[in-house]
Structure 1
């Protein structure tokens, strides 16, 4: 629930609210609005990290009381942080390297260019997705949720402020608002996820419905 509350708030602020503001034409924010939303994203994400690692750390630990969760040393934390940055850089560079051939394939197939963004996003989120699936197969649902929802929260909550800074420096327009079709599918995904996790247990049906919803989004990107 803590992950969902943070994620939903950031999704609404960054992807839906721009469609309803009136200071600028189109699904975009003005400079002051973009600064405010960036600060809001960082505030929500920072508070979530505080909750996850300090105030309510037990919410995010495995439910198995017999499993001991060791606290890493300072040296291990620094080494993990450096390794994380290196691996993140590798993933981003791979995505950048793959973007050109993917664009060529999409263009030759006569598909819309927006599909490139979907594929690149899937590549960047692939490591967390694989780790989340492995945790779920081990029946460690809490870790699986931490990885899957946490990666989504990080991707949006930190990407928007970073892109906002770049756009401000280079005077670029940043289109944030989703079209109405995507907003409907986003709302459906959020609703299904909340129903799935609200009682503390779930089943395969919710997962299949979410996958079908994802397939519907990709299909409507190709055939809008």
Structure 2
């Protein structure tokens, strides 16, 4: 009980600070900004804890879906806050979505495959389920990040209003179709083997975890604007060549940390299917929901976005998408698969600072 006390204290502290800050005109700068960031991270972990507790009651794949959507709400709130802070950041949305795909498909997947193989030599996944994730991830990634540079809209890297509305509607529709397949029509393709279900299945009190999850999400949203301002101010002082790319990657790395830990733990317990559900599910939810949300906000506030990515990013994205197909092509993974993904992850991080 003591180990999970943070899951109740952090949301309460975040909500208290969000209410008292405007009342007493507290300037969240310096050490206070750092404390606000710590609270945000703590709330993120608390939300994941409550989402996992809810998942243990409702079963799979709905449990993974609750976790994924919870983290997506957090990510959307933080990115929107950063987009609205200060001057317009037209490339922030694309950099955040690209970073999510790259971090998940190289870093998180690579760590899961490598650490799982070190303990179990080879692991298996349900190939049809993984193919479902990858097919939608590939389609939406190309539509949102590659296609904008090849249209005749007259704006390099962007769509016109009709195109963006049509593409974002298609993106949401693709994600909705995937959810229907995952939770209703082909649910068995995303379930782990019976032997993999041997984890903590203690009865959880939904009446406690659901309001705590909602409180944690509200706390994250309330803290987002202050943290966004602090992150941008700190990175601006570094004189980076592409600050939007580093900001997007930093936010994504921070917010994906709880899911990363969850996925790696599952892989080490020889629950690779659950691990991949968590990892690829977060990437799919981000590009399927975060991008349309940020596009909608940009249209409402009149801050245009640039969606098309740079040439070096296009090459890396296509390489990672092809590699993901190959890695899961047989339904069995080993040490080499994880090692290759991690090498590409290291190269991607390098190009963030040395583009």
Indicate the TM-score class for this superposition, using the shorter chain for normalisation: 0.7 to 0.9
User: Which residue is equivalent to 2:264?
Assistant: 133
What value does the CA root-mean-square deviation take over the aligned residues?
A: 2.4
In the superposition, the TM-score normalised over structure 2's length comes to: 0.56
User: Which residue is equivalent to 1:59?
Assistant: 189
RCO higher in 1 or 2 (8 Å CA, sep ≥ 6)?
2
Which structure is larger by alpha-carbon Rg, 1 or 2?
A: 2
| Alpha carbons of structure 1 residues 5 and 178: separation in structure 2 relative to 1, 3 Å | same
Structure 2: gaps of 5 or more residues: 1-130, 200-204
By how many angstroms is 1:169 displaced?
Answer: 1.1
1:22 paired residue among 140, 152, 157: 152
Alignment of 1:18-97 (within 5 A): 18-64=148-194, 67=197, 76=206, 84-91=213-220, 96-97=225-226
Alpha carbons 2:196, 2:271 under 8 Å: kept? no
By how many angstroms is 1:43 displaced?
Answer: 0.5
2:238 paired residue among 109, 114, 128: 109
Alpha carbons 1:132, 1:144 under 8 Å: kept? yes
By how many angstroms is 1:109 displaced?
Answer: 3.2
| Alpha carbons of structure 1 residues 81 and 174: separation in structure 2 relative to 1, 3 Å | farther
| Number of residue equivalences | 218
Structure 1: gaps of 5 or more residues: 70-74
Q: 1:95 and 1:159 mapped to 2: Cα distance?
A: 15
Moved more, 82-91 or 18-27: 82-91
Alignment of 1:129-168 (within 5 A): 129-168=260-299
Q: 1:66 and 1:125 mapped to 2: Cα distance?
A: 24
2:303 maps to 1:202: no
Moved more, 200-209 or 5-14: 200-209
